[in-house]
Chains A and B, each alone.
Chain A
Amino acid sequence: QQQVKQSPQSLIVQKGGISIINCAYENTAFDYFPWYQQFPGKGPALLIAIRPDVSEKKEGRFTISFNKSAKQFSLHIMDSQPGDSATYFCAASSTSGSARQLTFGSGTQLTVLP
C-alpha cells in the first residue's frame, strides 16, 4: 500500500514538445506529492509539489495535475528543452503520525532531442 507506481520508464521528446509522466498511488493517507529532477552525479532536486486540496499547480513550464478520486497525479513539461533531459521521480508522503518519509516512484528517464 506504500507503493507509488510511475510510468513510463523512459521518454523521448522533441525539443518544444510536451513531456508527460504519470504516477499512481494506493495509500489514501498520502497528502503531499512532490516531483524531483535528478541529473547524473547529482542528488534529486525538488521541482514542484502539490497537496490534494488542489487539482493543478503550475510553475513556469512545469505543471502537476492531481486526480484525488483516481489516486493519480502527473507532471507535464511544456516546451521541453534539451536541458530538461534528466531522470524525474514522483514521490508521496503522509503527514499522519510522525512520518516524514518520502515514497518514490521508480523514475522516468527523459531525453529531449534538439
Chain B
Amino acid sequence: KAGVTQTPRYLIKTRGQQVTLSCSPISGHRSVSWYQQTPGQGLQFLFEYFSETQRNKGNFPGRFSGRQFSNSRSEMNVSTLELGDSALYLCASSWDSDSRNQPQHFGDGTRLSIL
C-alpha cells in the first residue's frame, strides 16, 4: 500500500509570491491534516480536511489555506510568502472514525525555502 505522497519535495520561492503544495493520502484515508515544522516552533497544526470540508484549523494567518478534492487529495496554498514561512510542510492522512482517534501517517513533506 502506497504511503502519503507529497509533491514537490523542494520549493524555492521569493517573498510576496504564492505557492501550492499537494498531498495524496493513503488509499482509503479520508482525513488529511497539514502541519508546519520549523526548528524554532516545532510541529504545528495548520488544518484538517474531511469530505472536502475543513473540519479544524490551527492558529495560522489567513494567508494559509487549503482544500480537499473528492478523491481525498488535498492542496494547501500560502499567499504573499514571508521569510518566516520557510519550513517543512507535512501532510498526514488517517482513516476517519467518529468515536476514536485513528493513527495519522505522515508524508516526507515539502521543504519550502523563501528567499
Contact = CB atoms under 8 A, between A and B. Distances in A.
Contacts of A44: 43, 90, 106
A89 interface: yes
A95 B45 CA distance: 16
Interface in B60-115: 90, 92, 94, 96, 99-101, 103-109
Contacts of B33: 100-102
A13 interface: no
**B contact face: mostly helix, strand, loop, or mixed:** strand
Contacts of B100: 32, 51, 95
Contacts of B94: 100
Given A32-B101, A43-B90, A95-B99, A103 B45 contact: yes
B109 A95 contact: no
Contact of B101 (A36, A89, A100): A100
Contact of B42 (A32, A34, A101, A106): A106
Contacts of B58: 101
